Amino acid sequence: MNLLFVSAVIICLFVLIFVIKFEKGLSRWLGISALISLSWALYSIIFIAKLDRFQSVPQKIFYIHVPSAWISFVAFFLVFIFSLKYLYTSRSRDDLLANSFAEVGVFFNTLVLITGPIWAKPIWGVWWTWDARLTTSLILWLLYVAYLMLRSYIDDFERRARLSAILGIFSFLNVPIVHYSVLWWRTLHPAPVVIRSGGMSDLPMSMHIALWSSCFSVVVLFIYLVRKRYKIGKFINLKEF
């Protein structure tokens, strides 16, 4: 695996350790759980998962790239749900949750756009190509960055919440396009390996361990980050009102 990327992951783990020192209660335990599960996931990726016979070491990016993509889809789906709820109830809590999920979703979607080219370069020979999956993924990232920018530019709470809810609902429409892009168009990006008929049975046990360890660690980290962002958002709202 790319040494620079592994170094970046290790640095992130140390940053997480530093942040956890200042946590209390459930947030502290979530942070510790995220740290332990991420450490185990990194160990299983490097030392347990067997090398792919065709792609060798670069394939190990798969164990970070795929869970990050999945959890970003989950985050954007939750933005969609809580945006709908806000338009129906006008509760500030729903708006704050939508914003929290959007920010964390953008973080994981950014990881997807970073790990993708790192994986693509040794396999495809290029860092980036305007492939249907890559292009729609970039559009998805731009839509949710636009969502966050919209929120930062509007001071009036009700107008900001209403417009961002509409954009959050609209932006989610691109998620199924991203998912099905490899089936609708001819692409360099491979078709789904795990979520397909017989996909799971094609993976050896060592790859299962690495993949699901990564998925679990990403879910725990996701919950921790959303909870953290929600608490920060509540504090900001109190200052605004």
Segment 26-81, tens digit of pLDDT: 888 888 888 889 889 988 998 898 887 888 888 889 999 999 999 999 999 999 99
Is 200 a member of any domain?
Answer: no
Q: How confident is the model at residue 241 (pLDDT cuts 50, 70, 90)?
A: low
Q: By mean pLDDT, which of 17-21, 31-35, 59-63, 119-123 is the weakest?
A: 17-21
Mind listing the pLDDT tens digit for each residue in 144-163? 999 999 999 998 999 999 99
Strand-pairing partners, residue 52, are 56
Name the band, by pLDDT with cuts 50, 70 and 90, for residue 197: very low
pLDDT, position 219: 96
pLDDT tens, 214-231? 999 999 999 999 999 999
Number of domains in the chain: 1
CB of 105 closer than 8 Å to CB of 79:
yes
Centroid of chain to Cα 87? 25
pLDDT at 1 over 60: no
Residue with tokens 């959007």: 102
Residues 6+ apart with CB under 8 A from 46: 1, 6, 60
In a domain, 48, yes or no: yes
Can you give the pLDDT at residue 5?
57
Q: How confident is the model at residue 203 (pLDDT cuts 50, 70, 90)?
A: confident
CA 134 to chain centre: 15
Residue 198 covered by a domain = no
What pLDDT score does 193 carry? 65
The answer to which of 66-70, 114-118, 186-190 has the lowest mean pLDDT is: 186-190
pTM across the whole model = 0.89
Average pLDDT, the chain: 87
- Residue 141 has a pLDDT of 97
Domain annotation covers residue 197: no
- Asked whether residue 53 is domain-assigned, the answer is yes
Q: Could you give the CA distance from residue 223 to residue 95 in angstroms, rounded to a whole number?
A: 17
pLDDT in tens, 76-103: 999 999 999 999 999 999 999 999 999 9
Which residue range forms the structural domain that includes residue 163? 3-192+205-240
Domain assignment present for 225:
yes
